[in-house]
């Protein structure tokens, strides 16, 4: 395969069965990494691995519920047995959560668990493996523009994603002396299967029109972004090209947060 910026390295990507996670896993593998593709949907994880294998890459699929700490512990124990080291961890799993303040306690808790708890414990359980990368370790967190600016329609989501930014910054400081870099990606509207969930209450037949008007009104570049564009940013933060970059919450938003 072409590339090589992650040659010989080991990566774990959560929620890599579709969207940005799948695009990132495929890109990491194309650059030489062995990628552990995890997703709550085991079939989707296998499909990502099949795409990687078809392109000549190396990957392993695992069905993992990232809200289950024991499942995360088992995942990293397996990575330890197979490789003894981890170079890249992309804590990507996330869900939109309830609209406004109308959610139930259970919906609120699930939003926090998927978006924030998984990233906290995932990183904690991978810390020893990352330290063994001898200064080549990179932890990525998927936050959101909603972790940087107000999200009136999704306060629970903003709570979780804003927390991810400060978790990342805190870990960048505490793990930096161990040679572990930590950064967050903060996307705006990306064309993924989950995008429709963010346009709550919009009738299906009006979805495309609403999406285009939303982008025109809020994104200076005037368009949606592809999962592959986000994967390119993830690759930059994962590889040595960003060796001096840590503690950064990087918007991938076409200028959404610049206004």
Do 146 and 154 contact (CB within 8 A), yes or no? yes
Task: State how far the Cα of 179 lies from the Cα of 14, in Å rounded to an integer.
Answer: 22
For 67, phi and psi rounded to 5 degrees?
-80, -10
Provide the 10 A C-beta neighbour count for residue 229: 17
Report DSSP state, residue 202: -
Q: Which two tokens stand for residue 98?
A: 């309830």
Angle at 50 between CA 44 and CA 51, to 5 degrees: 95
User: Among all residues, which ones are annotated catalytic?
Assistant: 157
Alpha helices in the chain (DSSP H): 19-30, 42-54, 69-83, 105-112, 118-131, 155-175, 195-198, 207-218, 227-238
Quick one: CA torsion of 223, 38, 78, 231, rounded to 10 degrees? -10
Among residues 33, 35, 37, 32, which one has the least CA distance to residue 47?
37
Reduce the DSSP state of residue 246 to 3 states and report it.
coil
Q: Which two tokens stand for residue 38?
A: 């995890």
């Amino acid at each position: 395969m072409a590339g090589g910026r992650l040659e010989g390295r080991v990566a774990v990507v959560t929620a890599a069965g579709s969207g940005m996670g799948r695009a990132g896993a495929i890109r990491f593998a194309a650059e030489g990494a062995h990628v552990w593709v995890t997703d709550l949907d085991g079939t989707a994880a296998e499909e990502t691995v099949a795409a990687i294998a078809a392109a000549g890459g190396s990957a392993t699929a695992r069905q993992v519920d990232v809200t289950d700490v024991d499942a995360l512990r088992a995942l990293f124990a397996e990575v330890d047995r197979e490789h003894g080291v981890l170079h890249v961890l992309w804590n990507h799993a996330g869900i939109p959560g309830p609209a406004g303040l109308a959610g139930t306690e259970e919906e609120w808790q699930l939003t926090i668990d998927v978006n924030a708890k998984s990233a906290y414990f995932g990183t904690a359980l991978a810390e020893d493996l990352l330290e063994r990368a001898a200064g080549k370790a990179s932890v990525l967190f998927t936050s959101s523009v909603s972790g940087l600016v107000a999200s009136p329609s999704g306060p629970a989501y903003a709570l979780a994603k804003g927390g991810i930014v400060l978790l990342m910054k805190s870990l960048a400081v505490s793990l930096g002396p161990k040679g572990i870099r930590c950064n967050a990606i903060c996307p705006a509207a990306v064309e993924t299967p989950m995008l429709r969930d963010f346009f709550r209450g919009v009738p299906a037949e009006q979805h495309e029109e609403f999406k285009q008007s939303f982008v025109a009104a809020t994104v200076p570049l005037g368009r949606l972004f592809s999962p592959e564009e986000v994967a390119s940013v993830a690759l930059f933060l994962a590889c040595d090209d960003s060796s001096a970059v840590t503690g950064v919450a990087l918007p991938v938003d076409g200028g959404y947060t610049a206004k």
